[in-house]
């Protein structure tokens, strides 16, 4: 740790020198803007993103890479690249590229398209102020996905189940955006951002599990037993408990989450013994959702927990 003296500057301010090595590392110069944030009593100085003149650019050839094209482009977006030049060979490959940019890459647009080359560019910044609302929206979409899927399954309403499946696309978009912000090394309010990245991965997988459950139900539209319906509701409440823990951390809530996980696991194991194969498949998806919800607890502790401090809605 290095200490520096404060120098009085006028009647109301103080100044302090900043290490030259940090200035050079962040490509700053006289007149450059820096951001200053007060965080838990500390003053955090960060390079202002507007100082960056050179965008992060990458070229990728996706020819003959289907079915991984969408995953590749989404990963480059999440990785923080601002310009992606994409070479393709067929119209199907072009369609996949266009679709993933439209559906997943918030702030990106196709700015040029030729016979075998497409160029996508960032047209708006993923600024810190957008992170918290999008993260909140991810949780709320999942809460809605959970409750609406249960209502639709109880009523055997196939059209509503199809609508739930479509909601997963928004969850993918939101979590990709949040992971991009983290990879751009934005200054977020969380204690640690690496565990936060893991939480976002799990939120996406929870959405996938609800989607897969609904897809299976469309293939095998059976009337669910009262026991499975009640369990479904318990697991939805289990997700709500995780959401509450994230936004207002309390150690007793963490304990309750652990107790409830054991109760749900026991209930699922008992139901496996007496349900038909169709309902057992539904139980498999519910077990996956439960496990993914519970697996976030360590990352939540690392990213938001501090003694006497809670992150409030």
Cα first-last separation, the chain: 34
Does domain 57-122 fall under CATH 3.30.110? My reply is yes
Residue with tokens 């809670």: 310
**In 205-285, beta strands by DSSP E:** none
Q: How far is CA 239 from CA 63, 242, 244, 257, in A?
A: 40, 5, 9, 10
132 to each of 17, 170, 178, 213, 247, how far by Cα in Å? 32, 16, 9, 29, 11
As a whole number of angstroms, the distance between CA 32 and CA 301 comes to 36
From first to last of its 313 residues, the chain has per-residue pLDDT tens of 677 777 776 666 777 788 877 776 666 766 677 777 766 567 777 776 544 445 689 999 999 999 999 999 999 999 989 999 999 999 999 999 999 999 889 889 999 999 999 999 998 765 667 888 999 999 999 999 999 999 999 999 999 999 999 999 999 999 999 999 888 876 677 777 889 999 999 999 999 999 999 999 999 999 999 999 999 999 999 999 999 999 999 999 999 999 999 999 999 999 999 999 999 999 999 999 999 999 999 999 988 765 444 444 4
Q: Which fold would CATH assign to domain 128-304? A: Methane Monooxygenase Hydroxylase; Chain G, domain 1 (1.20.58)
Quote the pTM value.
Answer: 0.77
**67: cis peptide before it, omega within 30°?**
yes
Q: How many helices (H) and strands (E) does the chain have?
A: 10, 8
What is the number of other CB atoms lying within 10 angstroms of the CB of residue 79? 14
Where do the domains of the chain lie?
7-51, 57-122, 128-304
Contact 181, 188 (CB under 8 A): yes
For 7-51, give the CATH class. mainly beta
């Amino acid at each position: 740790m290095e200490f520096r003296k404060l120098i009085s500057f006028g009647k109301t301010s103080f100044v302090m020198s900043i290490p030259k090595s940090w200035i050079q590392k962040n490509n700053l110069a006289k007149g450059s803007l820096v951001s200053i944030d007060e965080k838990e009593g500390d003053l955090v100085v960060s390079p202002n993103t507007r100082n960056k003149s050179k965008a992060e650019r990458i070229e990728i050839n996706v020819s003959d890479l289907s079915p991984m094209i969408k995953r590749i482009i989404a990963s480059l977006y999440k990785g923080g690249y601002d310009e992606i030049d994409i070479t393709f060979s067929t119209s199907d490959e072009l369609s996949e590229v266009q679709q993933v940019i439209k559906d997943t890459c918030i702030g990106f647009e196709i700015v040029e398209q030729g016979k075998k080359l497409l160029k996508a560019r960032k047209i708006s910044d993923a600024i810190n102020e957008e992170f918290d609302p999008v993260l909140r929206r991810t949780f709320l979409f999942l809460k809605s996905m959970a409750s609406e899927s249960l209502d639709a399954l109880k009523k055997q309403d196939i059209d509503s189940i199809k609508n739930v499946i479509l909601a997963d696309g928004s969850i993918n978009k939101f979590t990709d955006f949040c992971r991009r912000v983290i990879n751009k090394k934005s200054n977020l309010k969380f204690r640690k951002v690496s565990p936060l990245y893991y939480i976002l991965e799990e939120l996406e997988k929870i959405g996938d599990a609800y989607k897969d459950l609904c897809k299976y139900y469309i293939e095998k539209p059976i009337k669910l037993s009262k026991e499975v319906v009640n369990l479904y509701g318990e697991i939805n409440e289990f997700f709500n408990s995780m959401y509450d823990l994230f936004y207002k951390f309390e150690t007793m809530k963490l304990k309750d989450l652990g107790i409830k996980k054991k109760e749900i696991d026991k209930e699922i194991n008992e139901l496996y013994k007496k349900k038909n194969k169709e309902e057992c498949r539904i139980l498999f998806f519910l077990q996956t959702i439960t496990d993914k919800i519970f697996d976030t607890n360590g990352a939540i502790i690392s990213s938001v927990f501090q003694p006497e401090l809670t992150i409030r809605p």
